[in-house]
Structure 1
Amino acid sequence: MLVLASASMTAMWSASAAKQAASSEVQPAAGAPRFETEWKKLATTLRESGMSIVERASLTRRRSDLMLIRSCLEWEPESFPLLAKLGGKPIVPLGLLPPSPEGGRGVSKDRDDATVRWLGAQPAKSVVYVALGSEVPLRADQVHELALGLELAGTRFLWALRKPSGVQDADVLPPGFEERTRGRGLVVTGWVPQISVLAHGAVGAFLTHCGWNSTIEGLLFGHPLIMLPIFGDQGPNARLMEGRKVGVQVARNENDGSFDRDGVATAVRAVAVEEENRRVFVANAKKMQEIVADSECHERCIDGLIQRLRSFKE
């Protein structure tokens, strides 16, 4: 069995792999920016144990009997039929496997956490929660542009920041940033109880890298998304969510993927401040929330997987 993330991302990679096999070149995915295609080229050239990431994934897929997709037909109705044609294997949806809304430790147990206490002092739906995951931290210059963009946007924010490696604590944020945003912004460089934060009534939007876990978690609570994908499946995930009109991506340089403070501020305001846009994004995020929170749908997917696995014994 091969377990993968979204059906749309898997279909994109399957189509690209087929084209690559025919042409021996990395083919750009439809709608993908140039810098994302360059990242993908790295996956075809970087080798460990004599095999690239793409080669290992392709070999795993060929040797698998099933492709398990952490998604469902209700979430990606267009992509599953396409993937069934491209995958060459039986496709089994796992469901979205959302976390419990109460969180692993229980939201109530996190009430004494400093970040949750800070949120408790903020107005309802006023805070942008910022978390870009831990796998690929931003460079110091990118952290500065993101910080200055949050400052320009003028919104309240809670930022779970992973410090860039090799940077002194005093240089992580722009000079004077914390003083200028004191009272409306909080930067945390340690552990943050993400589910408790997303469940909090003060949070009104989620600035995310669009990792599959974080995307599902944000929409579990109906939050519109400000999207800043960094690597891997995050770009396709962000385009999928942008197509669902649950938020917008931060504007990027087509060639190198860089972004600036103005692009950050524009995206944050569009999702968290500008009432007409925000109304649309919130309404669509609520529609997606209904799917993520539909436990019966995800249980049906797990039941289907169990039946499929039993069929191998028969």
Structure 2
Amino acid sequence: MLVLCAAGVTASAGQPGNSHAEQRQAIGESMSAAPAFEAQQAAELFAAEGASGPSIISRFVQTLTRSRFVAVRSCPELEPDAFPLLSRLYGKPAVPLGLLPPQPAGTRGVSRNTENDATMRWLDAQPAKSVLYVALGTEAPLRAELLRELAHGLELAGTRFLWALRPPAGAEEDSIIPVGFADCTGERGLVTTRWVPQVSVLAHGAVGAFLTHCGWGSVVEGLQFGHPLVMLPIFGDQGPNARLMEGRQVGALVPRNEKDGSFDRAGVAGAVRAVAVGEEGRAFATNARKLQEVVADRACHERCIDGFIQHLRSCCNE
């Protein structure tokens, strides 16, 4: 059994049982819709050996080969074409596990401290649906120069924002935030380098959009509250997830350099404005609310869990 989102599984590896060269070729074909920098990153992941020997992708393929079925953190209502495709690709059942959204009830009171209180008080003072929440995770932080471009882009966009900034290792906040940034953004922006209770923030009535790396957990959390997405994928399955959401028209990708994945402030500002303001932004928000209904469909997810349990029982009885 292997648990992933469907977009990530489809784009991550070749057919189980293929040779090393065939798997590499299959990865290249599955990444044909990806920009060159992302396909190169996938190829490097396949080739790079870790301390235990095989690469991450090689271990993924070996795990998949030995699995009796693939359990996917998704559902046919969200990805109707993915499950038949996965079954054909891998020659074994692709079982929906449901989206497993976090429980929003009571999140405002979880793990609160002085910093969190200040963040939530700032949100309390903002108009409804006016704030762009910016969070790019901790596993693969952007380089300092790209974070500075992101800061300039938020300044140029002119929208309200809450940025949960995670500086790369060895970098201080002062080396990333441009000089005069706080003065230029004034009270419409807040930057915090502390841990932020993401689900509580996304549940807040002041938040209207989400700038995300498109890790699957973050995508589900954003859609849980009907937020359109500004998408800036960095690593792994985030690119396929972002393209899936772009196809569902719930947000806009930040334009990237095809070769090296870099971006500039104008591209950031344009994507933010496209999602947060105007007719296009309203269309994205409408589509995000439609997917919110899928994420909120507890009966759907319970059916998925029931089906997953039945597959486990079948495997045990074989």
Bin the TM-score by the shorter chain: over 0.9
TM-score in terms of structure 1 length: 0.94
Q: 1:24 to 1:136 in 2, by over 3 A?
A: closer
Is residue 242 of structure 2 the alignment partner of residue 241 of structure 1? no
1:22 alignment counterpart = 22
Residues 116 and 197, structure 1, Cα contact 8 Å, conserved in 2: yes
Equivalent-residue separation in structure 2 for 1:97 and 1:159 (angstroms): 25
**How is 1:67-78 mapped onto 2 (pairs within 5 angstroms)?**
67-78=70-81
**How is 1:1-314 mapped onto 2 (pairs within 5 angstroms)?**
1-5=1-5, 7-15=6-14, 21-22=21-22, 25=25, 27-28=28-29, 29-48=31-50, 49-102=52-105, 106-108=107-109, 113-273=117-277, 275-314=278-317
Q: 1:19 to 1:254 in 2, by over 3 A?
A: farther
Q: Which runs of 5+ in 1 are unaligned?
A: none
Question: Which SS does the other structure have where 2:211 is aligned?
Answer: strand
Equivalent-residue separation in structure 1 for 2:220 and 2:269 (angstroms): 24
Residue type matched to 2:55 in 1?
S
Q: Which runs of 5+ in 2 are unaligned?
A: none
Report deviation, 1:13: 2.9
TM-score in terms of structure 2 length: 0.93
Equivalent-residue separation in structure 1 for 2:174 and 2:83 (angstroms): 48
Question: Which SS does the other structure have where 1:167 is aligned?
Answer: coil
CA RMSD of aligned residues (A): 1.8
Q: 1:16 to 1:141 in 2, by over 3 A?
A: farther
Q: 1:67 to 1:194 in 2, by over 3 A?
A: same
Residues 224 and 285, structure 1, Cα contact 8 Å, conserved in 2: yes
Residue type matched to 1:153 in 2?
A
Q: 1:198 to 1:304 in 2, by over 3 A?
A: same
Residue type matched to 1:201 in 2?
G
Question: Which SS does the other structure have where 2:103 is aligned?
Answer: coil
Residues 14 and 86, structure 1, Cα contact 8 Å, conserved in 2: no
Q: 1:301 to 1:24 in 2, by over 3 A?
A: closer
Report deviation, 1:312: 2.5
Give identity over the alignment, percent: 60
Report deviation, 1:19: 9.6
Q: Tell me the alpha carbon deviations over residues 140-183 of structure 1, each in whole angstroms, 9 at most, x when there is no partner.
A: 10110000000000000000000122223421211111222120
Question: Which SS does the other structure have where 1:129 is aligned?
Answer: strand
Equivalent-residue separation in structure 1 for 2:67 and 2:45 (angstroms): 21
Q: 1:168 to 1:286 in 2, by over 3 A?
A: closer
